[in-house]
Amino acid sequence: MADTLNKIKILLGESLRTRLLILLFVLAFLTLLVMLLLQVYRAYDIAMPVGQDAARVPDLGSLPSQNDREVLVLNSYHIGYSWSDNEMAGIVDAFRQQGKRIYPVIEYLDCKRHPRMEHFERLRDLFVVKYRMKDFPVVIATDNPALEFALTYRSRLFPNASIVFCGINGFRPEMIAQADNITGVAELLDAGGTLAMALTLQPAVRAVYAVHDYTITGLATRRETEEQLKPFAGRVAIRYLMNLSTSELVDVLRNLPRDSIVLALSYSLDREGNVINHEKIARILSDNAPVPVYGLHEERLGYGIIGGRLMGGKMQGSRAAEFALRILRGEPASRIPVDILSPTRMMFDFKQLERFHIPVDRLPTGSVIVNRPVSFVSKQPVLVFTTLGMMAILIAGILALGINLYQRRIAEVEQRKLQDQLIHAQKMEAVGHLAGGIAHDFNNILTAIIGYTNLLRRKLAGDDPSRTFTDHILAASERAARLVKSLLAFSRKQVIEPMPVDLGEIVKGVEKIARTLIGEDIEFAVNLHASATVMADTGQMEQVLLNLCTNARDAMPKGGHLAIETDRVTVDDESRRQHLLDRPGTYGIIAVSDTGNGMDEGVRKQIFEPFFTTKEVGKGTGLGLSIAYGIVRQHNGTIQVYSEPGRGTTFKIYLPSIDAAGAPIAAAEAAAVRGGTETILLAEDESEVRELVAITLREAGYRVIEAVDGPDAERQFAENGSAVSLLLTDLIMPKKNGREVYEQLRLSSPSLNVLFMSGYTADIIRNKGVLDDPMLFISKPIIPDILLKKVREALDGPAGPKA
Ligand code: ADP
Ligand code: MG
Exposure letters 297-321 (e unless 16+ CB within 10 A, then b)? bbbbbbbbbbbbbbbbbbbbbbbbb
Residue nearest to atom 19 of ligand 1 (CA): 551
Per-residue pLDDT at 99: 64
CA distance 539 to 454: 28
Q: Which ligand lies nearest to the CA atom of residue 626 in the structure?
A: 1
Q: Sign of the CA dihedral 766, 771, 773, 778?
A: negative
Å from CA of 440 to ligand 2 middle: 24
489 Cα: distance to centroid of ligand 2 (angstroms): 15
**Average pLDDT, stretch 609-629?**
85
Is there a cis peptide before residue 557, judged by omega within 30 degrees of 0? no
| Best mutation site among 613, 616, 652 for ligand 1 pocket (most ligand atoms within 8 Å of CB) | 613
- Closest atom of ligand 1 to 623 CA is 6
Q: Is the CB of 606 under 6 A from ligand 1?
A: no
pTM for this one?
Answer: 0.43
- Higher-confidence residue: 496 or 341? 341
Confidence of residue 380 (pLDDT cuts 50, 70, 90): confident
pLDDT on residue 31: 85
113-122, 283-292, 728-737: the lowest-pLDDT one: 728-737
752 lines ligand 1 (CB under 6 A): no
As a three-state string, the secondary structure of 746-783 is HHHCCCCEEEEEECCCHHHHHHCCCCCCHHHEEECCCC
Q: How remote is the CA of residue 614 from the centroid of ligand 1, in Å? A: 7
**C-alpha atoms less than 13 angstroms from C-alpha of 287 in its C-beta half-sphere:** 12
Mutate to test the pocket of ligand 1, among 554, 562, 626 (most ligand atoms within 8 A of CB): 554
- How far is Cα 46 from Cα 50, in angstroms, rounded to an integer? 10
User: Could you give the CA distance from residue 758 to residue 77 in angstroms, rounded to a whole number?
Assistant: 131
Is there an atom of ligand 1 within 6 Å of 604 CB? no
pLDDT of residue 420: 77
CB neighbours (10 Å) of residue 55?
4
Cα separation, 414 vs 420, whole angstroms: 10
Which residue of 517, 547, 549, 551 sits with most ligand 1 atoms within 8 Å of its CB, as the best mutation to test the pocket?
A: 551
Among 146-160, 272-286, 400-414, 599-613, top mean pLDDT goes to: 146-160
When pLDDT is averaged across residues 265-271 and rounded to a whole number, the result is 89
Confidence of residue 64 (pLDDT cuts 50, 70, 90): very low
For the stretch 685-742, pLDDT in tens is 888 889 889 988 998 899 999 999 999 999 999 988 788 999 999 887 888 888 889 8
pLDDT, mean of residues 594-603:
92
Cβ–ligand 1 distance for 731 under 6 Å, the answer: no
CA–CA distances in Å: residue 214 to residues 105, 268, 273, 692: 30, 9, 10, 146
Cβ of 603 less than 6 Å from ligand 1: yes
486 CB under 6 A from ligand 1? no
pLDDT digits (tens, 9 = 90+) for 747-801: 888 888 899 887 655 544 555 555 555 557 777 767 777 788 889 888 887 544 4
Q: What share of the chain is helix, strand, coil (3-state, %, to 5)?
A: 50, 20, 35
Of 490, 601, 607, 649, which is best to mutate to test ligand 1, by the most ligand atoms within 8 angstroms of its C-beta? 607
Instruction: Encode pLDDT of 289-309 as tens digits.
Output: 999 999 999 989 999 999 999
Run of H or E residues at 207: strand 207-211
pLDDT band at 164 (very low <50, low <70, confident <90, very high): very high
Backbone angles phi, psi at 462, to 5 degrees: -55, -30
Task: Look at strands 237-241 and 293-295 and give their pairing.
Answer: unpaired
pLDDT tier for residue 514 given thresholds of 50, 70 and 90: confident
**What is the distance in A from the centroid of ligand 1 to the CA of 418?**
24
Q: How far is CA 787 from the centre of its chain?
A: 71
pLDDT band at 666; cut points 50, 70, 90: very low
More confident residue, 13 or 123: 123
Q: How confident is the model at residue 423 (pLDDT cuts 50, 70, 90)?
A: confident
Question: What local confidence, expressed as pLDDT, does residue 210 receive?
Answer: 96
**Residue 633 reports pLDDT greater than 70:** yes
pLDDT at 65: 44
> In this predicted structure, what is the pLDDT of residue 304?
93
